[in-house]
Amino acid sequence: MRKFWTLYSKEMLESLRSYRLVWIPVVFIILGIMQPLTTYYLPDILKASGDMPPGMLEGYEMPGAAAVMAQALGQYGTIGMLVLALAAMNSLAGERSSGSAELLMVKPIAPAVIIFAKWAAHLTVLFIALGLGAAAAGYYTVQLMGSLSVSDCLAAAGLYSLWLLSAVSLTLLFSAFMRGPAAAFLALLSAAGMSLLYSLLPSDFDWLPAALPDLSAGQLTEGSVAWFGPVLSAVLLILACIAGASMLMGRNKLPD
Amino acid sequence: MTLLEVTGLSKSYGKQRSVDNISFVIEAGQCVALLGPNGAGKTTTLRMLAGLLPPSAGQISFNGSLPGTDYRKELGYLPQSPAMYRWMSGLEYVVFAAKLSGIPSREAAKVSAAALERVGLAAAGRRRIGGYSGGMKQRLGLAQALVHRPKLLLLDEPVSALDPIGRREVMELLREIRGETTVIFSTHVLHDAEEICDNVILMNQGTIAVQGELSELRQQYSLPVIRLSVETGSAAAGWLESLALKPFIQASQISGGKAVFNVADVALARRAILQEAVGLNIPLLHFEAGSSTLEDLFMKVVGS
Ligand SMILES: Nc1ncnc2c1ncn2[C@@H]1O[C@H](COP(=O)(O)OP(=O)(O)OP(=O)(O)O)[C@@H](O)[C@H]1O
Ligand SMILES: [Mg+2]
């Protein structure tokens, strides 16, 4: 346990010194506040751009606060996920190729502890980024659109973070035996594949982790959702990724 | 007391046998040089000893325990090109290594500072590793390998990448360290091995060519040779020519006041030559008997 903390603090120190702990939350905050701002000011923006056919704005109805908040969280599914995968892709591959893994693996530690510490550090960064981003989005939504249920927001952000964490865990798994960029690419491809399956056949695949973004939106707009299946499958996927990465790391510890 | 017993250790990559059925025993407190040319299998052997590579065959028994027991706690390891986190400071890295070896935080800070002091990095301890020179990195590598007082220290070419000054510094350190713990270090320079170790394992193409105590090997492989040189331009040159005709000298090479004599009996030849030199008042510059030809042995093993 002490060794876990040692490794975890090292990971967090690296996040801090490489400014990952700063720029990822900043990206998430910007993404989060864009949605309420653009929604609110859309009519003005369109008007200012001039040549609008008359009557076009008459049908425009300001969406409700919950819908805007759901869209704001939805922003994290693309750029947010990309940013997280890029930040995670070298955490194992980089240690291996630079040779620092060699020094780490002669220490009396189980590979699983190393992987778990890395995973926990990525989880921390994700929580900080998504927490600040969602808080900023919520703040502007409430200011501009109207009130929101705090507990619904928390639940929605939680569901969304589980989806992002699945992608991060996949990146970690692939980076245990591939080069960083390939690992990020494959992880994003797997996430996109799951999303595609879910969007093509939603009723057959509503248990996939890819259903989590929809659930998160539903939580905000409807207030309650059937979360059990996707949450369970996401947790299982994440555990499998950690276990797989630990096994692979135990085997691939030397620079190739 | 036997610290490490290796039996039939092999590692194959596909068809290539990088390490081929090697066996050796290392006693506690010994300093052993793993000597061999590029590609001999030194790194592969050390990595197997460090538990980083699973052997294809063979067994490693540490401190009398069953083969397969995890002994990483008792191990200090310095890879051929150590990669330490550039964004950490030297002190942070050694503390990190100490804690991972199981030393509690407070003690870790203390022993790490001592280890840095030890390798002469106390002043640079707070600087980022990214700004260290090659010699400083190597010394930091030694500090992290030493900090938990391991029973066995594995060093992979600790001085090969260094300039003469860095090399000197690290060799001095190694000389100190070998008194405290068991050391195996690899090198492709015979001179490095002779400088600090009493035992060598000479590897070539994955197998052990020769192993044993350096002094014994020196005797065993020393040809009975006498080398001497005299002041040039004196009557001594004629004396050298006359020596070549003596019965105890089998072959000779003489050029410019220098002579190499192959002899049958070193002790006899030495006595006879020195007596004559004194008697004839010969201005001797250099005299060497039964000279070590480990270098020749090394070259022969490496060249074949
Ligand atoms: N991962 C690997 N895959 C395939 N062959 C390898 C691998 N690692 C080492 N070898 C081969 O094993 C042999 C021994 O390599 P090793 O690195 O142990 O030599 P070395 O004695 O350390 O040499 P050097 O002095 O250059 O460091 C070499 O022929 C090398 O090509
Ligand atoms: Mg080597």
> From ligand 1's centre to the CA of B206, what distance in Å?
9
Beta bridge partners of B24: B6
Residue A44's pLDDT is 82
Contact B291, B227 (CB under 8 A): yes
> From ligand 2's centre to the CA of A94, what distance in Å?
21
The residue among B96, B142, B154, B155 with the most chain A CBs within 10 A of its CB, best to mutate, is B96
Inspect the interface and report whether the beta carbons of A6 and B82 lie closer than 8 Å.
no
Assess B75–A contact: CB distance below 8 Å, yes or no.
yes
The answer to whether residue A51 is domain-embedded is: no
Using one digit for the tens of pLDDT, what is the confidence trace for A166-195?
999 999 999 999 999 999 999 999 999 999
Q: Considering only CA atoms, which residue is closest to atom 30 of ligand 1? A: B39
Using one digit for the tens of pLDDT, what is the confidence trace for A31-89?
999 988 988 888 888 777 776 666 666 667 778 888 889 989 998 999 999 999 999 99
Assess A10–B contact: CB distance below 8 Å, yes or no.
yes
Name the residue of B9, B18, B49 to mutate for ligand 1: max ligand atoms within 8 A of Cβ: B18
The answer to whether residue A57 is domain-embedded is: no
Residue B215's pLDDT is 84
Question: Is residue B100 predicted with pLDDT exceeding 90?
Answer: yes
How far apart are the two ends of chain B, measured CA to CA in Å?
Answer: 35
Q: Considering only CA atoms, which residue is closest to atom 28 of ligand 1? A: B39
Report phi then psi at B6, rounded to 5: -115, 125
The answer to whether residue A10 is domain-embedded is: yes
Domain B2-214, what fold? Rossmann fold (3.40.50)
Query: Looking up tokens 């390998």, which residue turns up?
Result: B145
Enumerate residues 6+ apart whose C-beta is below 8 A from A141. Answer: A35, A36, A65, A68, A69, A72, A148
Give the DSSP letter of residue B230: E
Domain B222-303, what fold? Alpha-Beta Plaits (3.30.70)
Is B85 close to ligand 1, i.e. is its CB under 6 Å away? no
Angle at B48 (CA atoms; ends B46, B49), nearest 5 degrees: 60
Residue B236's pLDDT is 80
Residue B107's pLDDT is 95
Average pLDDT (A225-251) is 92
Is B10 close to ligand 1, i.e. is its CB under 6 Å away? no
Q: pLDDT grade, residue B303 (50/70/90)?
A: low
- Separation between Cα atoms, residue B156 and residue B159, nearest integer Å: 9
Contacts of residue B13 in chain A, CB cutoff 8 Å?
Answer: none
Residue A117's pLDDT is 96
**Higher-scoring residue by pLDDT: B234, A200:** A200
Inspect the interface and report whether the beta carbons of A108 and B101 lie closer than 8 Å.
yes
Question: Is residue A224 predicted with pLDDT exceeding 80?
Answer: no
Question: Is residue B304 predicted with pLDDT exceeding 60?
Answer: no
Assess B128–A contact: CB distance below 8 Å, yes or no.
no
Inspect the interface and report whether the beta carbons of B99 and A253 lie closer than 8 Å.
no
Residue B79's pLDDT is 93
Q: Is B174 helix (H, G, I), strand (E, B) or coil?
A: helix
Location of each CATH 3.30.70 domain in chain B: 222-303
Rounded to two decimals, the pTM is 0.85
Inspect the interface and report whether the beta carbons of A107 and B72 lie closer than 8 Å.
yes
Alpha helices (runs of H) in chain B, residue ranges in sequence order: 42-49, 90-100, 105-118, 134-146, 164-177, 190-196, 214-221, 236-243, 266-279, 294-303
Contacts of residue B77 in chain A, CB cutoff 8 Å?
Answer: 103, 106
- Separation between Cα atoms, residue B126 and residue B299, nearest integer Å: 44
Question: Is residue B250 predicted with pLDDT exceeding 60?
Answer: yes
The answer to whether residue A256 is domain-embedded is: no
Candidates A112, A22, A6; CA nearest to B88 is A6
Question: Is residue A251 predicted with pLDDT exceeding 60?
Answer: yes
The answer to whether residue A85 is domain-embedded is: yes
Using one digit for the tens of pLDDT, what is the confidence trace for B150-181?
999 999 999 888 888 888 888 988 998 888 89
Contacts of residue A254 in chain B, CB cutoff 8 Å?
Answer: 47, 52-53
The total number of structural domains in chain A stands at 1
Using one digit for the tens of pLDDT, what is the confidence trace for B30-69?
999 999 989 999 999 999 999 999 999 999 999 888 888 8
Pairing of strands B57-62, B182-187: unpaired
Residue B143's pLDDT is 95
How far apart are the two ends of chain A, measured CA to CA in Å?
Answer: 30
Is B188 close to ligand 1, i.e. is its CB under 6 Å away? yes
Contact A14, A94 (CB under 8 A): no
Using one digit for the tens of pLDDT, what is the confidence trace for A117-133?
999 999 999 999 999 99
Location of each CATH 3.40.50.300 domain in chain B: 2-214
Say which range, A84-93, A206-215, B47-56, B89-98, has the weakest mean pLDDT: A206-215
The answer to whether residue A50 is domain-embedded is: no
Residue B262's pLDDT is 83
Assess A98–B contact: CB distance below 8 Å, yes or no.
yes
Contact B48, B71 (CB under 8 A): no
Domain that includes residue A132, residue range: 2-44+62-251
Candidates A12, A60, A109, A187; CA nearest to B101 is A109
Contact A24, A125 (CB under 8 A): yes
Mean pLDDT estimate for chain A: 90
Q: Is B214 helix (H, G, I), strand (E, B) or coil?
A: helix
CB atoms within 10 A of CB B161: 15
Inspect the interface and report whether the beta carbons of B85 and A7 lie closer than 8 Å.
no
- Residue B228's Cβ-side half-sphere holds a number of Cα atoms within 13 Å equal to 24
Residue A176's pLDDT is 93
Secondary structure of chain A in the HEC alphabet? CHHHHHHHHHHHHHHHHCCHHHHHHHHHHHHHHHHHHHHHHHHHHHHHCCCCCCCCCCCCCCCCHHHHHHHHHHHHHCHHHHHHHHHHCHHHHHHHHHCHHHHHHCCCCCHHHHHHHHHHHHHHHHHHHHHHHHHHHHHHHHHHCCCCCHHHHHHHHHHHHHHHHHHHHHHHHHHCCCCHHHHHHHHHHHHHHHHHHHHHCCCCCCCCHHHHHHHHHHHHHCCCCCCHHHHHHHHHHHHHHHHHHHHHHHHCCCCC
Inter-axis angle of helices B105-118 and B90-100, nearest 10:
130
Average pLDDT (B188-199) is 88
Secondary structure of A96-113 in the HEC alphabet? HHHCHHHHHHCCCCCHHH
Candidates B155, B205, B199; CA nearest to B294 is B199
Query: Tokens representing A194?
Result: 């799951």
Question: Is residue A100 predicted with pLDDT exceeding 70?
Answer: yes
Enumerate residues 6+ apart whose C-beta is below 8 A from B199. Answer: B26, B30, B31, B32, B33, B211, B212, B213, B214
> From ligand 1's centre to the CA of A176, what distance in Å?
23
Residue contacts between A and B (CB atoms, under 8 Å):
62
Inter-axis angle of helices A111-144 and A150-175, nearest 10:
150
Q: Considering only CA atoms, which residue is closest to atom 24 of ligand 1? A: B38
| A1 CA to centre of own chain | 27
Nearest CB to B100; choose among A14, A109, A253: A109
